[in-house]
Structure 1
Amino acid sequence: MANKPRRYFSEHEKDEIWRMWKSGEGLSTIAKSLNSLSPSIYDVLSRNGGVKQIKRQRSSLHLSLAEREEISRSLAQNKSLRMIAKSINKAPSTVSREIARNGGIDNYRACKADKKAWECAKRPKQCKLSLEPALRELVALKLKEFRSPEQIAGWLKLQYPNNENLHVSHETIYKSLYIQTRGVLKKELLKYLRSKPRLRRTKTKVKNQRGYIQDLVSISERPASIEDRAIPGHWEGDLIEGTHASYIATLVERQTRYVCLVKVDSNSTYDVIAQLISHAKTLPSDLYKSLTWDRGTELRAHKKFTQETDVNVYFCDRCFSRQLALIS
């Protein structure tokens, strides 16, 4: 079978690649979900060293181009500043300052004013290493001594406790090494890192880390009708791993104890959810009303399962083991 050709990604697909990468998915998993190849995914991520650049956005508090065009039209119609301010739902003082700094009433032009505002807007904060040459030299020196960025950050705080200009986080050091567009630390310093991954996976808060399941509903919120096993159609499931990376999803109906086995290709949430959806559609809706699962990340995409099947998903509390989840 011929290999899939490399492809170009839309902006939406690129956002999805970065979202999955940040959540902890590997290159092969991301490629499979987008029907692509790992090298194509790597090309997208490697341009910024595996760290997504924050796109510059206009603040909702500032005047938009449409509002500036309304100001320009209203000035041509000799409307007062208060009338203009009311039409765009802004304070008269805001309109007055906008006109004054862009040529006055006679020379105000919306496009020119908008371009000037965008160019004068505050840029993202400059990297501390680019602002502090002494700090940059210290970091480079310690990297050449095979110190890790975490060790360097800690050493700086101990060595210069009263000089915050010489303090820097380890994440800033990593980003300066992996994002060469910053022009701060030379790429050659990468060879001094103890581990040398080709791409940097930014450390994030718990809600974005691998293993976290967003928007889950706890088993404690499961209706009483499910708890007493009085009504059929409520299932409990788990994923079992066999030899040679084989996987089977086990489903147990709570009232009858009827067991279904669903073979899945991998423990990827996309494979597991796809097979569970296919299996759910083979059963009458009256016999599949809810699914209870443990905290396994294979059900991270549980919302897609619910959208496709109209089956509510509940998750066991962390204190429950995988075995207890099936017999609760």
Structure 2
Amino acid sequence: MREGRRFGLSAEHKADIWRRWKLGESLKEIGRAFDKDHGSIQFMLSKHGGIAPAVRERSQRTLTLVEREEISRGIASGSSIREIAKGLERPASTVSREVVRNGGRSVYRASDADQRAWRSALRPKTCRLARHRKLRLIVASKLIRDWSPEQISGWLKRRYPNNGSMRVSHETIYRSLFIQARGVLKKELVQHLRSKRQIRRSVHAKAAGQSRGQIVDAISISERPAEINDRAIPGHWEGDLLSGSGNSHIATLVERHSRFTILVKVPSKDTATVVAALSRQVRKLPASLRRSLTWDRGLEMAKHKSFTVATKVDVYFCDPQSPWQRGTNENTDGLLRQYFPRKTDLSGYSQADLNKVALRLNQRPRKTLDFDTPASKLQASVASTH
């Protein structure tokens, strides 16, 4: 984009940019489509927080440009206000106010009056968080604790079931964070969102996959008993390695029934090291919570037989390049990126540090649990089995 050149996009082009953004195209892809620098595209999108503004529509009760032109022609021909109003089938008071509002008969111009009316109609509705201080403070306090907007919205419904004024949609919270012109929630609270993005990104944005190696004598996920698939019984886990910079890793275990998360420090990705660390952690669990483990195709679990001997926990493996078969763990790894961003050196975290993060995650309400927390869900499940 040449220096000094104006953005110069028509309403149709802007609508197409929002459409492409919603479909998941990157800033560079959109910029190439319009022969613009991607920074210019980002500037346009960021003004609205990455959320497409609502299309403005004229009220059917207001005067149209055609009607204003009729008023202008009537004034030029010397017609009275009542005569003009009769021709438009409008009250005389409506036409009279229109003319007076725009300078009187001597200076009235249809196009100027129409543009002035369009500008004055910009009366953005104050959002719920701006009107309710108590609700705003509660939302901010939960964001500081790393709760997602959806978790906050769901928790409020449970906490205040009979108080409609203490409800707010997750979309309103996102808009209040991303659209800073609202001036409702502080911009710094965006840093507590899992993605830490400054603008809304489409759910259709592209994500690269990974390839995995082969595991000798791996038991396929298709051979798992039905009780694992239906999540009815606690004690079935999904696991993976969360990677950081400098070849550093953290082992993650997520219980399928409650979504309870355990983080395990591993000095290296070597299979003997990983299996030993996991075995020590799993042996600390009650027998009722040691039933099975489903892992991806990572070679860190090549010694899965040793793990089963040490823990009496059967290990099942996903199909090649099918991490979605461990959806619970994949989702949890995404949540953990809020605490361990990509390219973070994970070797500096102690087991005590990991336990604190796991505790924080386990005390956050989850939509899939009807906004109960993994900790309370697991506790209730264990109590019911005794």
TM, length-normalised to structure 1: 0.50
* Match of residue 147 from structure 2: 147
Alpha-carbon contact 1:65-1:110 (below 8 Å) kept = no
Structure 2: how far apart are the matches of 1:138 and 1:15?
36
Amino acid of the structure 2 residue aligned with 1:44? M
Structure 2: how far apart are the matches of 1:5 and 1:80?
54
* Match of residue 92 from structure 1: 90
Structure 2: how far apart are the matches of 1:68 and 1:140?
48
What does the per-residue CA deviation read over 1:98-138, in whole Å, with 9 as the maximum and x for residues that have no partner?
3157549x955635865774565362322211111111111
1:145: how far off? 1.2
Amino acid of the structure 2 residue aligned with 1:163? N
| SS at 1:195 equivalent | coil
Alpha-carbon distance change, 81 to 129 in structure 1, aligned in 2, over 3 angstroms: same
Alpha-carbon distance change, 40 to 119 in structure 1, aligned in 2, over 3 angstroms: closer
What does the per-residue CA deviation read over 1:22-42, in whole Å, with 9 as the maximum and x for residues that have no partner?
222222321232234433432
* Match of residue 128 from structure 2: 128
Structure 2: how far apart are the matches of 1:100 and 1:8?
38
Alpha-carbon contact 1:51-1:202 (below 8 Å) kept = no
Amino acid of the structure 2 residue aligned with 1:97? T
Name the % identity: 46
Structure 2: how far apart are the matches of 1:73 and 1:38?
47
Amino acid of the structure 2 residue aligned with 1:98? V
* Match of residue 294 from structure 1: none
* Match of residue 38 from structure 1: 38
* Match of residue 178 from structure 1: 178
Structure 1: how far apart are the matches of 2:137 and 2:66?
47
TM, length-normalised to structure 2: 0.44
What does the per-residue CA deviation read over 1:186-243, in whole Å, with 9 as the maximum and x for residues that have no partner?
011111112212421367xxxxx789xxxxxxxxxxxxxxxxxxxxxxxxxxxxxxx9
**Whose relative contact order is higher, 1 or 2, with alpha carbons under 8 Å and at least 6 apart?**
2
What does the per-residue CA deviation read over 1:246-301, in whole Å, with 9 as the maximum and x for residues that have no partner?
xxxxxxxxxxxxxxxxxxxxxxxxxxxxxxxxxxxxxxxxxxxxxxxxxxxxxxxx
Structure 2: how far apart are the matches of 1:29 and 1:120?
36
Structure 1: how far apart are the matches of 2:199 and 2:131?
25
Alpha-carbon contact 1:177-1:185 (below 8 Å) kept = yes
| SS at 1:52 equivalent | coil
Structure 1: how far apart are the matches of 2:184 and 2:172?
11
Structure 1: how far apart are the matches of 2:82 and 2:174?
51
**Please, which runs of 5 or more residues in structure 2 have no aligned partner?**
212-386
* Match of residue 167 from structure 1: 167
Aligned CA-pair RMSD? 3.6
1:153: how far off? 0.5
Alpha-carbon contact 2:22-2:202 (below 8 Å) kept = yes
1:179: how far off? 1.1
Alpha-carbon distance change, 110 to 68 in structure 1, aligned in 2, over 3 angstroms: farther
* Match of residue 17 from structure 2: 17
| SS at 1:152 equivalent | helix
Structure 2: how far apart are the matches of 1:70 and 1:101?
12
